[in-house]
Amino acid sequence: MANYQPQRGTYDAYYEDALNIEKIVDELKSLSSIYGFTPIHIPTYESTSLFARSAGDSSDIVTKEMFNFLDKSGRDICLRPELTAGVMRAIVTNKLYATRDLPLKLSYFGSAFRYERPQAGRYREFKQFGIENVGISSYLNDAETIIFGYKALRKLGFPHVILKINSLGDEESRNNYRNALKDFFKDKIESMCPDCKKRFETNPLRILDCKVKEDQEIIKDAPKIQDYLSEASKVYFSNILKVLDENGVEYQIDYSLVRGLDYYSHVVFEYHYILEDGTSLGAIGAGGHYDNLVKEVGGPSLSSVGLAFGIERLNILLKEIDPDSYSKVNLDCYLMALGENNIPYLFSLCLKLRENGFSSDMSFENKSLGASFKIANRKNARFALILGDDERNRNVIQLKDLQKQEQIEVSLDKLIDTLKLMKGE
């Protein structure tokens, strides 16, 4: 007999974990709606060339992490490693830029896939929620997106969030900076890791993202981007920081922050969760500005800014922050039949309770009261409803508040109103 195990880098979410993931996503969707973002749904797989073009040849996504394969017609297909490129492709395919007022403000949620080494909170299939703000070149667009992410994390329950932010400048700034980095690393690159050697040829800015300890010692003396920003880029970045100051967003300028995708320009940012002792648990969300991505996938030149959150990581951290607030399986009513002949009658009552908005459940097997109460407790039921032959003949039911451990007899025709009163509705 086959032993079916989940694939490496995947996971099953159920009960409280699944509920909390739903809760996180619902909160993010609700806030994005308040900010004027509307949902977009895109395919799980696309042409591999879409991501190779948009992520950039030097990104780890392209060089190491893509789940791509040839389909039965020989086409090179890729499970999406992120959702931004697919959103931009959908905008171009459907000419959304010509049918709606700009900026296009879109939100998304779904699975993404990266063939990387699984570790705590990081999976080969993972879920992302994100927003894209497309079509207007304004520092206020960038600031609005950044503020959304900061407010979203605070609303979810993260007590201390620090925004790390940097500017990669405009094309002129980045070209000047690339040349400076090439000049700095040219005599050092032979002693650095293979990834850095590749990045030296394709995009030297990505060398700054190297995690090899020995290479980091070299990188710390590299030229800093702020020394190569054009005046226009400096003003743009300064305006964003001013808006963040005015709106109480706590941030740190991190000149080494470049992000892992090649399409970014101007502002890039990460949200970090900071413990009370000052320890950072790393990035819990990130994003940035991009000027050419829509054009690169076949559309007009439109400036854009976006961000994304990894839902699994948020779920793990929120559970650690406040276990008591972690979502639990809850039920309003658990119905208990005394005698098998009362089960069909009680089932009709269960359906009526559901129609009136009360989450309700029952067993269709003839169980003892003791066994039924154990099930009700496992389901965190607020009320137990008990019906036997005597109650049915008198058109009443026993209603027990399991929180207060108080029991009353209620007429069946007054049950709904009584439950609403007891729940405080």
Residue 120 has a pLDDT of: 65
- By CB neighbour count within 10 A (0-12 exposed, 13-18 middle, 19+ buried), where does 383 fall? buried
Residue 58 has a pLDDT of: 46
Q: Checking DSSP bridges between strand 304-310 and strand 331-337, what pairing results, if any?
A: unpaired
Contact of 383 with 333, CB cutoff 8 Å: yes
Q: How many other β-carbons are positioned within 10 Å of the β-carbon of residue 43?
A: 11
Instruction: Provide CB contacts within 8 A for 201, sequence distance 6+.
Output: none
Rounded to an integer, what distance in angstroms lies between the CA atom of residue 423 and that of residue 425?
6
Residue 277 has a pLDDT of: 74
Domains and CATH numbers, the chain: 15-167+249-324 (3.30.930.10), 171-229 (no CATH), 331-423 (3.40.50.800)
Alpha helices in 271-342 (DSSP H): 293-296, 311-321
Q: Is the Cα torsion angle 192, 196, 198, 199 positive or negative in sign?
A: negative
Rounded to an integer, what distance in angstroms lies between the CA atom of residue 97 and that of residue 395?
63
Q: Return the top range by mean pLDDT from 173-182, 209-218, 365-374.
A: 365-374
Q: Could you tell me what percent of the chain has a pLDDT over 90?
A: 66
pLDDT tens by residue, 292-308: 889 989 999 999 999 99
SS3 content of the chain, % helix, strand, coil (to 5): 45, 25, 30
pTM over 0.85: yes
pLDDT tens by residue, 169-201: 888 888 888 899 999 998 989 999 988 888 888
Give me the chain's average pLDDT, please.
91
CA distances from 315 to 153, 347, 363, 413 (A): 12, 36, 32, 43
Report which residue type is found at 169: G
Contact of 116 with 132, CB cutoff 8 Å: no
Residue bearing the bigger pLDDT, 149 or 175:
149
pLDDT tens by residue, 63-92: 568 888 999 999 999 999 999 999 999 999
Lowest mean pLDDT among 7-11, 116-120, 211-215: 116-120
pLDDT at 280 over 80: no
pLDDT tens by residue, 98-124: 988 999 999 999 999 998 777 766 799
Contact of 210 with 193, CB cutoff 8 Å: yes
CA distances from 266 to 57, 170, 176, 319, 391 (A): 20, 6, 14, 35, 72
- Work out the pLDDT band at 61, boundaries 50, 70, 90: low
Residue 425 has a pLDDT of: 59
